[in-house]
Amino acid sequence: MDLHSCPNRWLSDSLSPSLSASPRTSYCSFKTLVWIYLSLGLAIGLDNLLYSYGLLLLSASAYSLICGTQLIFNAVFSYLINSEKITFWTVMSIFFLTVSALVIALDDDSNSPSGGSKWIYVIGCLLTLLASLIYSLQLSLMQFSFEKIIKKETFAMVLEMQIYTSLVASCVSVIGLFASGEWKMLRMEMEEFHKGHVSYVLTLAGTSVSWQLGSVSAVALIFLVSSLFSNLIGTLSLIVTPLAALVVFDDKLTVAKIAAIIFAIPGVAFYMYKNYLDGLIVERARESLAD
């Protein structure tokens, strides 16, 4: 069996332990690395800005479920950029998750935190969709960078990718904060936080730490498997977040949100079944190699 026909890098490494046992010797130049980290970091900064505006205009559950479009965008980019095969089960997964996002996007009773009109809600949906597109493109480009440019299979590269791209994105955010003048409102925001100053600082710190841990995990999944698989694991939060929003934010549980959750569950299940089939391919290949 040709190793290049395996569905992803993890499966290829399972068949050929030597790939994972020793890192590749080829390595790109420092200038190339700078351009990779700079471009991806700027994309992350723009992406975070769009997501922030989307979350500002939408309810937590609506925002989360619209983000399900990440998967269909990622599937397209994975096919075009990463040459990943799109199977029947992948298509079914994308279909159900996309329907889940569209159902919630058309919900007229979505309780926008902005308190604005329907047009404000539509703008929030569009910004979140655009952010999802950029995020999916960023994941595929990150996988392309690992496989075709960097070509060095060590966990240190995963940490470097996360640290330096996040550093660029953080610089973009800080520049935007001071350029817009919103830094003057930070003290007022802390004063108005209903849980107190300590809770405000702990909330920011906890959000930063948990976000970085999640980002490192996402980059590691891109490195070990694929950008599409990484995005799918992130999409699992679509099932959990709307339920958590009911408890934390007293969000409204509408019929559309229930339907969206119901559609999201088989969407995730189909993709997990696809990976189960990939595992069977590995087992059969091992048996043929043993013979």
Whole-number pLDDT of residue 110 = 47
Q: Are 54 and 124 in contact (CB under 8 A)?
A: yes
pLDDT, tens digit, 9 for 90 and up, residues 114-150: 555 677 888 888 898 899 899 889 989 988 988 888 8
Within the chain, where are the H helices? 9-15, 17-21, 30-57, 60-66, 69-81, 88-105, 118-144, 155-180, 186-192, 197-224, 227-235, 237-248, 255-290
Q: What are the phi and psi torsion angles at 77 (to 5°)?
A: -65, -35
Look up residue 78 and give its two tokens.
């994975």
Nearest to 241 by CA among 59, 26, 39: 59
pLDDT at 36: 92
pLDDT value of position 35: 92
| Cα–chain center distance at 70 | 7
Straight-line distance from the first to the last Cα atom of the chain, in angstroms, rounded to the nearest whole number? 12
Whether the model pTM is above 0.75: no
Residue 170 CA to residue 42 CA, distance in Å, equals 9
Instruction: Give me the residues of the chain with pLDDT under 50, please.
Output: 1-7, 10-12, 14-26, 110
Who's near 200: CB < 8 A, 6+ residues apart? 189, 190, 193
